[in-house]
A and B are shown apart, each in its own frame.
Chain A
Amino acid sequence: MTNAPRKTAAAMTSDKTDRNGSFAARDLKQPGSRWKLARKMWMLYLFFLVPACLLFIFNYVPMYGVLIAFKKFRIASGILGSPWNDFQNFKDFFATPFFLRILRNTVIISLQRLVFGFPAPIILALLLNEVNHMPFKRVVQTISYLPHFMSWVVLAGIIIEVLSPQRGLVGVIYGLLGMDAPNLMNSRAFFRPMLIATGIWQSVGWGTIIYLAAISSIDPEMYEAAEIDGASRLQRAAHITIPSLVPVIIILFILSIGGILNAGFDQIFNLYSPLVYEVADIIDTYVYRVGITEMRFDYSTAVGLFKNAIGIVLLLGTNLVTRRFSEYGIW
């Protein structure tokens, strides 16, 4: 429904620009007409100069700064003046015991997020879709978005409080069972499941929006026809709702594979402590500690680059594979 006026608006504008375009195209046939057009639109280049300068300084200069990953960086000599060091930073990284630990933690936490966290909003969207009482559905949706608007500083504070052996819910439950509550935040066995669960708790509601939008664009006549044919609710969900979500699911899946080495810095950084580094320290938290706290700039840049490079390879790879086996892909 909402698409129709948008489409006409788009059609109208493209019509207009076509007319404009033909005017421009006529100009283009004459030599130097591109310049003429550019001169006419000089003010637009001036506008773009503002964000372009900002992007150049704050996005492109750091990309060039990545060079220090391959150098022995001395602040006094600057990036160019520092000597190359023959991949020594990478060699050092692969040789530390931390390499395996943070790689293992990053991959395990990300995979668990993918396995448990990725289907969660799909399931919640399907359940919400089955609610026929609209006010109830809307209230649940509104509540479910709430944690999305909070920082992980706030959420971590709340989670720590709920899990607190003294004041929290967990303390109460153990108390009822007549046991002393352990400090779950410091438990290596408990930390990762807690991360995954609270991660889902924080993002699942927000994640349903895109699926619910896809569901609402399904033609209601399909459901009516299925119902007349005697399809049960489960059959309607399995044969109409879920198949129509597949394109969205595939695109979101590709994107989440690309971000698989982003195991959730904000969340982990606000919840972990040295007691659980063994199971919770990921590449990003390691880069922070080594880079910002210990000021080993060249080495930590190399670690960060290692992560980014793998992320891009994974994104391109997944996209390639999905395109080969299905008609969907992000580009």
Chain B
Amino acid sequence: MGSGEPPRRRPWFLRRKSAGDALFDAFNIAFLFLFSLTILYPFWSTILMSLSDVNEVSSLGLHVWIRHPTLVAYKFAMSRYGNVPVAYANTIFRTVTGALLTLVATILGAYPLSKRELPGRNGLTVFLLITMFFSGGLIPSYLLIRNLGLFDSRWALILPGLAGGFNIIIMRNFLMTMDKSLEESAFIDGANYLQILIRIIVPLSKPVIATVALWTAVGHWNAWFDALIYLKSENKIVLQLLLRRLIQEMTLLSEQMNSFMAIEKTELPSAAVKAAITILTIGPIIVAYPFLQKHFIKGIFLGSLKG
């Protein structure tokens, strides 16, 4: 402290720098800028492509803007290609239902485990931990879904993930750090565990509830593999799977015809439509992004609390 003002408090441009430092800073900032561009540019060019018409798409290269933005591709995607509105509804259904039910199962699992004095607590914890280290793998899970009669049911996407060891442990850790005095006085007033859980525990654990909910919601929004193997009906398809199918079809087409013009002549499905569906798929994530980012990061550190 004797050195006066510590150097890190001073604004960056007022610091004294050696020539080497300045050079390093310049390279560092240039590198980080370019790195950011490699992430932003592909997304930006997808947006541009989704806004271009079929003729413009073919001439699109390294562009920063397009001359005649149009919503033709979006209109086409919503009305004529596949079942985009249906897929949207299905994705929203699995996201909302999945996140809500996961929260219920997580809280019901975490609250008992957070009670140090609960007889048999260690056994229950081990029962939970085992599922985090061992799994039956793809095929036994697939056969189970078929045997349960969940094949081609929306619930096949929701039920298997409801109780997750990771979520339960994170919430348990959070509950264990909570002040127990409110709970105890409620007990003295004659409340039972269910009343305490609903009236006291849930309202006090909003941060961890938000984190687990967002975590699960983003997971459901982005999930596609379970839908690929468990669902058959067209009217149950989810957005990610629809997009995947479109990408695969286009790749296959371009391999078979080996000529871009050929694709454009078949007209369907054009690159602009693919871009439009991509934007529709990631739109909600982008909109919620600042919020998501904050809570996701919080979750990482909630998980590292010692219990």
Chain A residues at the B interface, C-beta cutoff of 8 Å: 6, 9-10, 12-13, 16-17, 20-21, 24, 34-35, 37-38, 41, 43-45, 47-48, 50-52, 54-55, 57-66, 68, 124, 127-128, 130-133, 136, 139-140, 142-147, 149-151, 153-154, 156-162, 166-167, 169, 171-172, 175, 183, 185-186, 201, 205, 209-210, 213, 220, 223-224, 227-228, 232-233, 266, 269-270, 273, 275, 284, 287-288, 291-292, 297, 300-301, 304-305, 308, 312
Partner of B28 from the list A21, A37, A127, A160 (CB cut-off 8 Å) is A127
B46 and A167 within 8 A (CB): no
A38 to B25, CA, bound (A): 63
Residue interface bits B141-155, CB-to-A below 8 A is 1, else 0: 111100010000000
Which residues on the B side are within 8 Å of A233 (C-beta)? 21, 24
A323 to B136, CA, bound (A): 29
Partner of A41 from the list B108, B115, B140, B225 (CB cut-off 8 Å) is B115
Partner of A227 from the list B7, B177, B222, B241 (CB cut-off 8 Å) is B7
A58 to B102, CA, bound (A): 14
B244 and A153 within 8 A (CB): yes
Which residues on the B side are within 8 Å of A287 (C-beta)? 137-139
A266 to B228, CA, bound (A): 12
Within 8 A of A (CB), among B239-295: 240-241, 243-244, 247, 251, 254-255, 260, 271, 274-275, 278, 281-282, 285, 289-290, 292-293
Residue interface bits B198-213, CB-to-A below 8 A is 1, else 0: 0000000000000000
Which residues on the A side are within 8 Å of B111 (C-beta)? 44, 47
Known: A131-B28, A166-B260. 6 other contacts (CB 8 A): A51-B168, A55-B127, A60-B131, A127-B32, A140-B36, A312-B133
Which residues on the B side are within 8 Å of A162 (C-beta)? 42, 45
B55 at the interface (CB under 8 A from A): no
Which residues on the B side are within 8 Å of A54 (C-beta)? 105, 159, 162-163
Tally the A-B contacts, defined by beta carbons under 8 Å. 286
A150 and B282 within 8 A (CB): yes
B86 at the interface (CB under 8 A from A): no
A287 to B142, CA, bound (A): 12
A-B contact pairs, 8 of them (CB 8 A): A10-B176, A16-B180, A41-B115, A47-B111, A48-B109, A131-B32, A145-B293, A161-B46
CB-nearest residue of chain A relative to B242? A153
Which residues on the B side are within 8 Å of A6 (C-beta)? 177, 305
Count of chain B residues near A, Cβ 8 A: 111
Which residues on the B side are within 8 Å of A60 (C-beta)? 131
Which residues on the A side are within 8 Å of B40 (C-beta)? 143
Which residues on the A side are within 8 Å of B254 (C-beta)? 166, 183
Partner of B127 from the list A52, A63, A64, A210 (CB cut-off 8 Å) is A52
Nearest-Cβ distance from residue B201 to partner chain A, whole angstroms: 11
B233 at the interface (CB under 8 A from A): no
A273 to B254, CA, bound (A): 13
CB-nearest residue of chain B relative to A275? B255
A300 to B140, CA, bound (A): 10
A139 to B141, CA, bound (A): 42
Nearest-Cβ distance from residue A208 to partner chain B, whole angstroms: 11
A124 to B111, CA, bound (A): 39
B247 and A160 within 8 A (CB): yes
Nearest-Cβ distance from residue A275 to partner chain B, whole angstroms: 8
A63 and B140 within 8 A (CB): yes
Q: Which of B40, B106, B281 has the most CB of A within 10 A?
A: B281
A261 to B301, CA, bound (A): 27
Which residues on the A side are within 8 Å of B159 (C-beta)? 54, 58
Nearest-Cβ distance from residue A180 to partner chain B, whole angstroms: 12
Within 8 A of A (CB), among B75-121: 104-106, 108-109, 111-113, 115-120
B117 and A37 within 8 A (CB): yes
B224 at the interface (CB under 8 A from A): yes
Q: Which of B142, B160, B255 has the most CB of A within 10 A?
A: B142
A144 and B224 within 8 A (CB): no
Q: Which of A9, A43, A128, A209 has the most CB of B within 10 A?
A: A43
Which residues on the B side are within 8 Å of A133 (C-beta)? 12, 29
Which residues on the A side are within 8 Å of B112 (C-beta)? 41, 44-45, 47-48
Q: Which of A52, A154, A166 has the most CB of B within 10 A?
A: A154
A65 to B137, CA, bound (A): 9
CB-nearest residue of chain B relative to A45? B112
Nearest-Cβ distance from residue B215 to partner chain A, whole angstroms: 11
User: With A143-B40, A151-B224 given, is the CB distance from A41 to B118 under 8 Å?
Assistant: yes
B142 and A146 within 8 A (CB): no
A171 to B57, CA, bound (A): 14
B136 and A65 within 8 A (CB): yes
A304 and B119 within 8 A (CB): no
CB-nearest residue of chain B relative to A201? B38
B163 and A51 within 8 A (CB): yes
Partner of B247 from the list A128, A157, A167 (CB cut-off 8 Å) is A157
Which residues on the B side are within 8 Å of A172 (C-beta)? 61-62
A315 to B281, CA, bound (A): 37
Partner of B39 from the list A20, A143, A154, A167 (CB cut-off 8 Å) is A143
